[in-house]
Amino acid sequence: MSHSTSSPWVVREDAAGITTLTLNRGERFNALSEEMLDALLTVFKTIAQEPQVRVVVLAAAGKAFCAGHDLKQMQQHPDASYYQQLFQKCSKLMIAIQKLPQPVIARVHGLATAAGCQLVAMCDLAVAAENASFAVSGVNVGLFCSTPAVALSRNVSRKQAMEMLLTGDFIDAHTAMQRGLVNRVVANDQLDAAVASLAASIVRKPAVAISMGKQLFYKQLDMGIEAAYQIAGQTMACNMMDASAQEGVQAFIEKRLPDWHVGDTTRV
């Protein structure tokens, strides 16, 4: 079924602190066209200012998660400046996901290729159905997946990343999990339940600790070990001063369950 021009590029649903964003161009394999990139950038900018959102799930309609950039749209604009702006916009989206205060879980089914594979790699967590497959396949059309390589090489080992980039070959979901690209692989009909379970586990934790921890995790990766430990120690000290951490420690001492409402005003 084709979509009308008024049909949203991304569908948003909110429930119990979990926001699900569904790429809504299944008939086009949810390609990252200019319009799709703009829609995602807009919604992530909004969510970043919404503390009631605790976890974001990135899902997709149709038979595929995301087939990467819209090659037909790209071919219509054979201009270097256009391509530079397009790839900069895509990179801006990827960085926005990493900078988002809330964790982002990729819900992957079907194909995740090129920039679609990059999208999976940039999410904090990923759960894949058994029918999912992954590739950075741009080299097959003469376009080395340079920007997807940035995300891929930060998830899997260098040689495994280079093999995928140089050959464009697909890997299945279980191989993707073995290589560290996804966290879990489940039966196709269990995908929603597995994502919901993982998201609910995060929602049960204090928002402040999750947000501070995510920010620190990515920041320290690009540092030397001494600088990483310094900033990690500072983060833990700030985290410990938060009321939710004080409550958690006190509950541990008193051998009871913590009441996160004491320190977490954003809990829904």
Q: What is the pTM of this model?
A: 0.91
Separation between Cα atoms, residue 146 and residue 156, nearest integer Å: 15
pLDDT in tens, the chain (268 residues): 445 557 999 999 999 999 999 999 999 999 999 999 999 999 999 999 999 999 999 999 999 999 999 999 999 988 899 999 999 999 999 999 999 999 999 999 999 999 999 999 999 999 999 999 999 999 998 889 999 999 999 999 999 999 999 999 999 999 999 999 999 999 999 999 999 999 999 999 999 999 999 999 999 999 988 988 898 888 888 887 888 888 888 888 899 999 877 645 444 3
The CATH T-level fold of domain 207-262 is: Lyase 2-enoyl-coa Hydratase; Chain  A, domain 2 (1.10.12)
CATH class of the region 10-203: alpha beta
Res 116: pLDDT: 98
The domains of the chain are located at 10-203, 207-262
Does the fold of domain 207-262 match that of domain 10-203?
Answer: no
The count of other CB atoms within 10 Å of the CB of residue 84 is 10
Q: What is the pLDDT of residue 122?
A: 98
